[in-house]
Structure 1
Amino acid sequence: MDKKKLSETDIITKFIMPAVKSAGWNLMTQIRQEVKLRDGKVIVRGQLGVRKTVKSADIVLYHKPNIPLAVIEAKANKHEIGKGIQQGLDYARLLEVPFIFASNGDGFIFHDKTNLNQLETEISLEDFPTPDQLWQKYCAYRGFKPEQIPLITQSYHDDGSGKAPRYYQLQAINKTIEAVSQGKNRMLLVMATGTGKTYTAFQIIWRLWKSRQKKRILFLADRNVLVDQTRINDFQPFGQAMTKISGRKVDPAYEIHLALYQALTGPEESQKAYKQVEPDFFDLIIIDECHRGSAAEDSAWREILEYFSAATQIGLTATPKETEEVSNIDYFGEPVYTYSLKEGIEDGFLSPYKVVRVDLDIDLQGWRPEKGQIDDNGEEIEDRIYNIKDFDRTIVIKNRTELVAQTITSYLQRTDPMAKTIVFCNDIDHAERMRRALVNLNPEQVAKNDKYVMKITGDDEIGKAQLDNFINPKKAYPVIATTSELMTTGVDAKTCKLVVLDQNIQSMTKFKQIIGRGTRIDDKYGKLWFTILDFKKATELFADERFDGVPEKVLVTKPEDIIEDEDDSFIDDINGEEENETEAQTIAEPHPDFTSDTQTEETSGNAEIDSDWGEDEEEKRFIKFQVSGISVKKMAERVQYYDSDGKLVTESFKDYTRKTIQKQFTSLDDFTRKWNEADRKQSIIDELANEGVIWQALEDDISKDLDPFDLICHVAFDQPPLTRKERANNVKKRNYFTKYSEQAQTVLSNLLDKYADAGVSEIESIHVLKVQPFNQMGKPMEIAKKAFGGRKEYDQAITELEAELYHDGSRSA
Structure 2
Amino acid sequence: MDTEADTCRKDVVPKLVEAGWDTSPCAINEQRTFTDGRIVFVGGKARRGRQKRADFILRYRSDFPVAVVEAKAKYKHAADGLQQAREYAEILGLKFAYSTNGREIFEVDYTTGIEREISSYPSPEELWLRLAASENLDDKIKGHLLSPTYPDKSKPLRYYQEIAVNRAVQAILRERKRVLLTLCTGAGKTSVAFQICWKLWNSAWSAKSKNRRPKILFLADRNVLVDDPKDKDFSVFGDARFKITGGEISKGRDIYFAIYQAIAGNETRDGIYKDYAKDFFDLIIVDECHRGSAREDGNWREILEWFDQAYQIGMTATPKREDNADTYSYFGDPIYEYSLAQGISDGFLAPYRVHRIISDFDAAGWRPTKGELDRYGREIPDSEYGTRDFERVVAVRSRTEAFAAHLTAFMAQTDRFAKTIVFCVNQEHALEMRNALARLNADLMKEYPDYVCRVTSDEGDIGAGHRSNFQDIDNRTPVILTTSHLLTTGVDAPTCKNIVLARVVGSMSEFKQIIGRGTRLRPDYGKLAFNIIDYTGTATEKFADPAFDGDPIRELEETIDENGEIVAETDVTEDADTNGEEVHTGPVDIIDGVLPVDGEPYAPRKYYYDGGSVEIIRQLVYELDPDGKKLACRHLTEYTGDKVRTLYPNASELRKDWLDPVRRAEILERLEEKGIDAEALGESVGKPEADPFDLLCHLAYNAPLRTRRERAERLRKDEVDFFAEHGTEAREVLDALIEKYAEHGAAQFTLPDVLEIPPFNGWGNVVEIAARFGGGKAMREAVNELQKRLYNA
Q: Same fold (TM over 0.5)?
A: yes
Which residue of 2 is the match for residue 811 of structure 1?
none
Tell me: CA distance 1:698–1:463, structure 2 relative to 1, closer, same or farther (3 Å): farther
Which residue of 1 is the match for residue 549 of structure 2?
548
CA distance in 2, matches of 1:674, 1:413: 46
Which residue of 2 is the match for residue 338 of structure 1?
337
The answer as to 2:623 corresponding to 1:628 is no
Conserved? CA contact 2:559–2:566, under 8 Å:
no
Corresponding residue to 1:108 among 105, 110, 123: 105
CA distance in 2, matches of 1:680, 1:646: 27
Tell me: CA distance 1:806–1:548, structure 2 relative to 1, closer, same or farther (3 Å): closer
Q: Deviation per CA, 1:269-303, whole angstroms, max 9, x where unpaired?
A: 66844344433332111111112222334444334
Offset, 1:724 = 5.0
Residue range with higher mean Cα deviation, 548-557 or 75-84: 548-557
> 3-state DSSP class of the match of 2:453?
strand
Tell me: CA distance 1:700–1:394, structure 2 relative to 1, closer, same or farther (3 Å): same
Corresponding residue to 2:702 among 718, 721, 731: 718
Residue range with higher mean Cα deviation, 242-251 or 367-376: 242-251
Offset, 1:557 = 4.5
Corresponding residue to 1:203 among 174, 190, 195: 195
CA distance in 2, matches of 1:590, 1:67: 54
The answer as to 2:782 corresponding to 1:792 is no
Tell me: CA distance 1:498–1:633, structure 2 relative to 1, closer, same or farther (3 Å): closer
Offset, 1:213 = 1.2
CA distance in 2, matches of 1:361, 1:548: 30
Q: For the aligned residues, what is the CA RMSD?
A: 3.8
Conserved? CA contact 2:681–2:692, under 8 Å:
no
The answer as to 2:136 corresponding to 1:143 is yes
Tell me: CA distance 1:566–1:381, structure 2 relative to 1, closer, same or farther (3 Å): closer
Conserved? CA contact 2:385–2:585, under 8 Å:
no
Conserved? CA contact 2:556–2:572, under 8 Å:
no
The answer as to 2:529 corresponding to 1:529 is yes
CA distance in 2, matches of 1:778, 1:480: 61
CA distance in 2, matches of 1:645, 1:495: 22
CA distance in 1, matches of 2:226, 2:619: 46
Which residue of 1 is the match for residue 493 of structure 2?
493
> 3-state DSSP class of the match of 1:175?
helix
Conserved? CA contact 1:84–1:103, under 8 Å:
yes
CA distance in 2, matches of 1:765, 1:513: 52
Conserved? CA contact 1:643–1:649, under 8 Å:
no
> 3-state DSSP class of the match of 1:280?
coil
Conserved? CA contact 1:495–1:522, under 8 Å:
yes
CA distance in 2, matches of 1:8, 1:350: 31
> 3-state DSSP class of the match of 2:531?
strand
> 3-state DSSP class of the match of 1:82?
helix
Corresponding residue to 1:22 among 3, 18, 23: 18
Conserved? CA contact 2:385–2:586, under 8 Å:
no
**One-letter amino acid of the structure 1 residue matched with residue 170 of structure 2:** E
The answer as to 2:756 corresponding to 1:764 is no
CA distance in 1, matches of 2:764, 2:268: 87
CA distance in 2, matches of 1:513, 1:223: 14
Which residue of 2 is the match for residue 173 of structure 1?
165
Tell me: CA distance 1:321–1:433, structure 2 relative to 1, closer, same or farther (3 Å): farther
Conserved? CA contact 2:95–2:111, under 8 Å:
yes
> 3-state DSSP class of the match of 1:517?
helix
Structure 1 regions of 5+ residues with no counterpart? Answer: 571-575, 809-813
Offset, 1:563 = 4.2
Which residue of 2 is the match for residue 700 of structure 1?
684
Offset, 1:487 = 1.3
The answer as to 2:447 corresponding to 1:424 is no
Tell me: CA distance 1:532–1:159, structure 2 relative to 1, closer, same or farther (3 Å): closer
Offset, 1:332 = 2.1
Corresponding residue to 1:80 among 77, 81, 88: 77
Offset, 1:785 = 5.2
Offset, 1:635 = 5.1
Offset, 1:444 = 4.2
Offset, 1:422 = 1.8
Corresponding residue to 1:122 among 117, 121, 131: 117
CA distance in 2, matches of 1:67, 1:689: 35
Normalization by structure 2: what TM-score? 0.87
> 3-state DSSP class of the match of 1:230?
helix
Which residue of 1 is the match for residue 93 of structure 2?
96
Tell me: CA distance 1:89–1:292, structure 2 relative to 1, closer, same or farther (3 Å): same
Q: Deviation per CA, 1:640-661, whole angstroms, max 9, x where unpaired?
A: 9999696784433221210111
Tell me: CA distance 1:237–1:637, structure 2 relative to 1, closer, same or farther (3 Å): closer
> 3-state DSSP class of the match of 1:386?
coil
Offset, 1:742 = 8.8
Conserved? CA contact 1:353–1:553, under 8 Å:
no
Which residue of 1 is the match for residue 515 of structure 2?
515
Offset, 1:93 = 0.8
Which residue of 2 is the match for residue 657 of structure 1?
640
Normalization by structure 1: what TM-score? 0.85
CA distance in 2, matches of 1:445, 1:737: 66
Conserved? CA contact 2:37–2:346, under 8 Å:
yes
Residue range with higher mean Cα deviation, 173-182 or 475-484: 475-484
Offset, 1:456 = 2.4
Conserved? CA contact 2:386–2:584, under 8 Å:
no
Which residue of 2 is the match for residue 257 of structure 1?
256
Tell me: CA distance 1:18–1:270, structure 2 relative to 1, closer, same or farther (3 Å): same
Conserved? CA contact 2:363–2:583, under 8 Å:
no
Which residue of 1 is the match for residue 182 of structure 2?
190
CA distance in 1, matches of 2:6, 2:616: 67
Offset, 1:40 = 2.5
Q: Deviation per CA, 1:608-644, whole angstroms, max 9, x where unpaired?
A: 6x9xxx637x766554322212454625969899996
Q: Deviation per CA, 1:735-775, whole angstroms, max 9, x where unpaired?
A: 99898789878876776676567543354264455678878
Which residue of 2 is the match for residue 573 of structure 1?
none
CA distance in 1, matches of 2:143, 2:665: 52
**One-letter amino acid of the structure 2 residue matched with residue 761 of structure 1:** A
CA distance in 2, matches of 1:318, 1:79: 43
CA distance in 2, matches of 1:703, 1:472: 45
Offset, 1:507 = 1.3
Conserved? CA contact 1:495–1:521, under 8 Å:
yes
Conserved? CA contact 1:274–1:304, under 8 Å:
yes
Residue range with higher mean Cα deviation, 632-641 or 243-252: 632-641
Structure 2 regions of 5+ residues with no counterpart? Answer: 207-213
CA distance in 2, matches of 1:666, 1:458: 58
Tell me: CA distance 1:320–1:692, structure 2 relative to 1, closer, same or farther (3 Å): closer
CA distance in 2, matches of 1:775, 1:202: 62
Conserved? CA contact 1:44–1:552, under 8 Å:
no
Conserved? CA contact 2:625–2:674, under 8 Å:
no
Which residue of 1 is the match for residue 787 of structure 2?
802
Conserved? CA contact 1:108–1:123, under 8 Å:
yes
Tell me: CA distance 1:800–1:444, structure 2 relative to 1, closer, same or farther (3 Å): farther
Offset, 1:509 = 1.4
Which residue of 2 is the match for residue 476 of structure 1?
476
Conserved? CA contact 2:554–2:634, under 8 Å:
no
Conserved? CA contact 2:185–2:513, under 8 Å:
yes
Q: Percent identity?
A: 38
Corresponding residue to 1:34 among 31, 41, 53: 31
Conserved? CA contact 1:321–1:327, under 8 Å:
no
CA distance in 2, matches of 1:593, 1:751: 70
CA distance in 2, matches of 1:715, 1:28: 54
- Count of residue pairs the alignment pairs up: 777
Corresponding residue to 1:64 among 61, 75, 81: 61
CA distance in 2, matches of 1:45, 1:250: 56
Q: Deviation per CA, 1:125-179, whole angstroms, max 9, x where unpaired?
A: xx32212222111111223234322222222222345x54222222221221121
Tell me: CA distance 1:637–1:353, structure 2 relative to 1, closer, same or farther (3 Å): closer
The answer as to 2:661 corresponding to 1:668 is no
Mapping 1:254-293, distance limit 5 Å: 254-265=253-264, 267=266, 272-293=271-292
> 3-state DSSP class of the match of 2:65?
strand
